[in-house]
Amino acid sequence: MLKHDFRAVAREFQIHGEFLEAVPYGSGHINDTYCAVFDQGGPRVRYIFQRINCHVFQQPLALMQNIRRVTEHLAVKVACEPDANRRVLTLVPARSGEAFFRDATGNIWRVYIFIEGARGYDAVENPAQAFAAARAFGQFQKMLADLPAPCLNDTIPDFHHTPKRFAALERAIEADPANRAQLAKPEIEFARRHQAICGVLLDAKLPERVTHNDTKFNNVLLDDATGEGICVIDLDTVMPGLALYDFGDMVRTTTSPAKEDERDLSKVMMQFPMFEALARGYLSSAAEFLAPAEKKFLPFSGKLITFEIGIRFLTDFLAGDTYFKIHRAGHNLDRCRTQFKLVESIERQEDQMNKLVETI
Ligand code: ADP
Ligand code: GN1
Ligand code: MG
């Protein structure tokens, strides 16, 4: 039995032709994503159907308002480029004219045109990919620098406020509702040993910008033919933030050859050539607007955001897996372990990373 009546959802959007099927798609941790296929007379046409996770995003309408503004702004920016309609997500309007549809049980659905001829990767394969991804995310920040007022809505308040993330971890350790703290003693100790880094970027008085905030490697689609970072996706957390949150998450997800949930920790490492490609790719599009202080903290941001996501995984493990989707017992603890291993690897190479950035 299908979990959702996709045919009924499809009817609520401005899509012509006959709905054929919808299958789960991608490996995101938050929303439910499906690839929906339609017969429109010629070759099959695909769309992305997404059910927004309203446990995570408690104000889905404010979120959709952001996405509408951001995608419309970006569409104007890329209009003159070749293949313009593959360079930005395009929302398919609902029959009501809204950007979403709320079904009878309260689920909120949105539909995007499927970006064909490109794909996202869960693990980086070579420095060229790292360069392409970072260049695209830098370009994304640049194109949104002149988004007209008002500010975007905060879809998750304090999303990258690391000290508050740390406080949430301490609360979870204290409450220990799933009786798991005993299973994560080394990780809890690791987190506590690193507490001092939490506030560094907040104390540095860096400029607030419009940032993506979830720049993991699989949130940019790379063109199958050219390898270019053709389209930045997953716009739920686009909101005011620090440019370094985005660069930090790129370091987290685009320098190690291992997947985020790899159990063999010997495979987890910060590979210097990937970092170099990432820094060069990002600066190829972002150097013109970055302040010197932001540039200086590029390597540190990688350590901080890797640590931050590590403590979020640990917190969710302790809380009983209520936030991130999991696919096996201990999944969030496995994810936490890769993050902390990567923090250590970055620490060992931080001086070299700093020296490199000074030369770019
Ligand atoms: P989540 O917030 O759960 O990570 P995403 O918005 O990142 O959800 O979507 C999940 C996956 O679906 C992506 O990693 C990507 O593979 C795929 N995807 C999302 N939007 C599109 C699109 N417009 N075209 C093609 N693939 C897409
Ligand atoms: C989630 O949505 P997805 O899977 O791209 C999370 C990010 C984490 C990431 C860890 C809204 O990203 O913050 O860094 O998992 N998104 C949200 O893989 O919490
Ligand atoms: Mg995603």
Q: Is residue 122 assigned to a domain?
A: no
- The tokens for 68 are 């509408």
**Cβ(89) to ligand 1 under 6 A?**
yes
Q: 177 with 273, same domain?
A: yes
Average pLDDT of the segment spanning 258-279:
98
Minimum-distance ligand to the CA of 231? 1
Last residue of a domain, one of 116, 149, 182: 116
0.85 exceeded by pTM: yes
Measure 214 CA to ligand 2 centroid, in angstroms.
6
pLDDT at 3: 81
**Cβ(294) to ligand 2 under 6 A?**
no
pLDDT at 2: 54
Q: 292 with 180, same domain?
A: yes
Give tens-digit pLDDT for 112-155: 999 999 999 999 999 999 999 999 999 999 999 999 999 999 99
Domain count within the chain: 2
Q: Is residue 265 assigned to a domain?
A: yes
Last residue of a domain, one of 87, 116, 145: 116
Average pLDDT for the chain: 97
Give tens-digit pLDDT for 142-194: 999 999 999 999 999 999 999 999 999 999 999 999 999 999 999 999 999 99
**Cβ(214) to ligand 2 under 6 A?**
yes
Give the integer Cα–Cα distance in Å for 332 and 310. Answer: 9
CATH number at residue 166: 3.90.1200.10
Q: Is residue 322 assigned to a domain?
A: yes
Cβ-contact 161, 311 below 8 angstroms: no
Name the phi and psi angles at 47, rounded to 5. -135, 160
Percent of the chain whose pLDDT exceeds 90: 99
Q: 54 with 169, same domain?
A: no
Q: Is residue 1 assigned to a domain?
A: no
Q: 274 with 307, same domain?
A: yes
Residue closest by Cα to atom 12 of ligand 1 = 26
pLDDT at 330: 98
**Cβ(235) to ligand 1 under 6 A?**
no
Q: How far is CA 356 from the centre of its chain?
A: 26
Give the integer Cα–Cα distance in Å for 315 and 339. Answer: 13
Last residue of a domain, one of 116, 146, 168: 116
Give the integer Cα–Cα distance in Å for 106 and 239. Answer: 25
Q: 234 with 308, same domain?
A: yes
Rounded to 10 degrees, what is the CA torsion of 251, 254, 258, 262? 60
CATH number at residue 28: 3.30.200.20
Q: 59 with 168, same domain?
A: no
Residue range(s) defining the domain that contains residue 147: 127-359
Q: 45 with 179, same domain?
A: no
